[in-house]
């Protein structure tokens, strides 16, 4: 199906007349973010395996690889299938895959992937099931043992449980133990840099103890993976992680812009993701209605922030599935007409992306390309 905005690609001023709502990527900002994180990792001597859960895009994963990433992380097997099909090497599935259908798909993917497919585990039953399936396939499966790291979502709850699981993986002839994952998702959005830094330091000392404990038993731990955008420059300093799994830095959303601004002269990465919507109703003097609502923006974060097309201080409010309200700044007026376009920073980038089929890649006033959100909805 041809997208209605295809005809605008390359047309001067095309950005101002897009069919809306449209998910926008500011290409120069995206490229600067990709380059900045790659340079940071290089300088600190850590590898970069960015998380594709943020963008679900083969094109962006390729650009991250060209900038120096060693691979890509995926939250779902469906994302991993899309990345492997797109030719991306070094795919790590950061969540456990436990049901028989998922294990069968994982093993089939392991047969297809020639370079470095890895999966996380956190339970002995899962290790046994993977070991059996991998043995039947004739190709070993690389396994990372996950530590809960205070996040309490997945991962072994204690260092002892993790150590036992490492032994179980190492005892399975069809599995290869390649490292530890420790992702403290609960720390990433702590709003002050000082508090985030202290919490990250405490967590890292636990991780250091785990890794040192394994190494003192003669176990090789080539990969220690974790780290999100909120602690990207806090965790590497401790010298425990061998790689960063940062995701949101490519786009930056309202929440991260606020959290990462603290303690610096500004956020270290730029906003590269926006939603453009149009005014579709002027039915009341108090506000206008635009064509971007609950099916356009994630609702688990702060409100979308209007950055273009309305007076500074105008506020967004959700107004149903397909609509939002724009309220004027205190004591001011909007002065908007039907069809006027507004652009907003997204509240939480990952789930917002998953609500859209395509990225509108823009540079200045032009639409440069449409990129599919390849792994949208893929589980
Ligand atoms: C396991 C894991 N690693 C890395 C990330 C990336 O984090 P961020 O988007 O905060 O950079 C996430 C995000 O939820 C994650 O779940």
Name the strand (E) or helix (H) holding 131. helix 124-137
How far away, in angstroms, is 360 Cα from ligand 1 center?
24
Note if the pTM is more than 0.75: yes
Query: C-alpha angle 146/152/156, rounded to 5°?
Result: 35
Half-sphere exposure for 118 (CA within 13 Å, toward CB): 26
Ligand 1 center from residue 10 Cα (angstroms): 34
Say how many Å lie between the CA of residue 180 and the centre of ligand 1.
Answer: 15
**Atom 7 of ligand 1, residue of closest alpha carbon:** 228
Q: Of all protein residues, whose CA lies closest to atom 3 belonging to ligand 1?
A: 245
- Ligand 1 centroid, distance to 154 Cα (angstroms): 13
Pocket test for ligand 1, best of 55, 94, 190, 228 (most atoms within 8 A of CB): 228
> 232: CA distance to ligand 1 center in Å?
11
Q: Candidates 47, 76, 188, 231: which one to mutate for ligand 1, based on the most atoms within 8 Å of Cβ?
A: 188
Q: What is the DSSP letter of 219?
A: -
β-bridge mates for residue 128, sequence order: none
Q: How far is CA 251 from CA 167, 195, 222, 305, 346, in A?
A: 39, 24, 30, 14, 9
List the residue whose alpha carbon is closest to atom 2 of ligand 1.
183
Which residues have any ligand 1 atom within 6 Å of their CB? 51, 53-54, 73, 75, 94, 183, 185, 188, 228-230, 245-248
Atom of ligand 1 nearest to the CA of 95: 1
Q: If you measure from the C-alpha of residue 52 to the centroid of ligand 1, how many angstroms do you get, rounded to a whole number? A: 9
pLDDT in tens, the chain (379 residues): 689 999 999 999 999 999 999 999 999 999 999 999 999 999 999 999 999 999 999 999 999 999 999 999 999 999 999 999 999 999 999 999 999 999 999 999 999 877 789 999 999 999 999 999 999 999 999 999 999 998 899 999 999 999 999 999 999 999 999 999 999 999 999 999 999 999 999 999 999 999 999 999 999 999 999 999 999 999 888 899 999 999 999 999 999 999 999 888 888 999 999 999 999 999 899 999 999 999 999 999 899 999 999 999 999 999 999 999 999 999 999 999 999 999 999 999 999 999 999 999 999 999 999 999 999 999 9
Convert the pLDDT of each residue in 15-61 to its tens digit: 999 999 999 999 999 999 999 999 999 999 999 999 999 999 999 99
Determine the atom of ligand 1 nearest the C-alpha atom of 230.
Answer: 10
Question: Which ligand 1 atom is at minimum distance from the Cα of 153?
Answer: 16
- Please answer whether residues 166 and 220 qualify as being in contact, where contact means their C-beta atoms are separated by less than 8 angstroms: no
Q: How many residues does the chain have?
A: 379
Rounded to an integer, what is the distance from CA 156 to the centroid of its chain? 23
Q: Give the Å distance between the CA of 246 and the centre of ligand 1.
A: 6
Going from the Cα of 173 to the center of ligand 1, the distance in angstroms, rounded, reads 31
pLDDT for 71-88, tens place per residue? 999 999 999 999 999 999
Distance of alpha carbon 184 from alpha carbon 163, whole angstroms: 19
For the beta sheet containing 91-93, the strands, ordered from the edge strand earlier in sequence to the opposite edge, are 47-48, 243-244, 223-226, 175-182, 141-147, 118-121, 91-93, 72-74
């Amino acid at each position: 199906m041809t997208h209605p905005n295809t005809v605008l690609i390359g047309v001067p001023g095309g950005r101002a007349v897009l069919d809306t709502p449209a998910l926008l990527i500011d290409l120069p900002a995206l490229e600067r973010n990709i380059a900045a994180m790659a340079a940071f990792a290089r300088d600190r001597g850590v590898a970069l395996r960015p998380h594709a859960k943020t963008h679900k895009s083969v094109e962006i994963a390729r650009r991250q690889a060209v900038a120096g990433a060693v691979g890509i992380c995926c939250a779902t097997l469906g994302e991993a299938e899309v990345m492997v099909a797109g030719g991306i090497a070094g795919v790590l599935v950061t969540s456990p895959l436990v049901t028989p259908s998922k294990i069968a798909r994982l093993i089939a993917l392991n047969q297809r992937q020639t370079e470095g497919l890895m999966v996380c585990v956190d339970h002995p039953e899962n290790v046994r099931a993977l070991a059996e399936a991998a043995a039947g396939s004739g190709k070993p499966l690389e396994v990372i043992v996950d530590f809960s790291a205070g996040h309490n979502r997945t991962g072994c709850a204690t260092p002892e449980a993790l150590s036992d699981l490492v032994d179980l993986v190492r005892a399975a002839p069809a599995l290869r133990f390649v490292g530890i994952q420790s992702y403290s998702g609960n720390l990433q959005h702590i709003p002050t840099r000082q508090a985030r830094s202290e919490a990250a330091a405490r967590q890292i000392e636990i991780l250091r103890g785990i890794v040192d404990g394994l190494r003192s038993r003669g176990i090789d731990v080539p990969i220690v993976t974790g780290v999100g955008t909120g602690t990207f420059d806090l965790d590497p300093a401790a010298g425990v992680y061998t790689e960063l799994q940062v995701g949101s830095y490519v786009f930056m959303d309202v929440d991260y812009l606020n959290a990462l601004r603290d303690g610096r002269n500004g956020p270290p990465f730029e906003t590269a993701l926006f939603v453009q919507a149009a005014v579709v109703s002027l039915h009341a003097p108090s506000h206008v209605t635009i064509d971007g609502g609950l099916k356009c923006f994630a609702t688990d974060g702060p409100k979308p922030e209007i950055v273009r097309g309305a007076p500074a201080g105008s506020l967004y409010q959700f107004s149903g599935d397909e609509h939002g309200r724009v309220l004027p700044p205190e004591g001011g007026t909007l002065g908007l007409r039907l069809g006027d376009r507004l652009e907003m920073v997204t509240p939480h980038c990952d789930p917002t992306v998953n609500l859209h089929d395509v990225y509108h890649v823009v540079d200045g006033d032009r639409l440069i390309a449409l990129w599919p959100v390849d792994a949208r909805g893929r589980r």
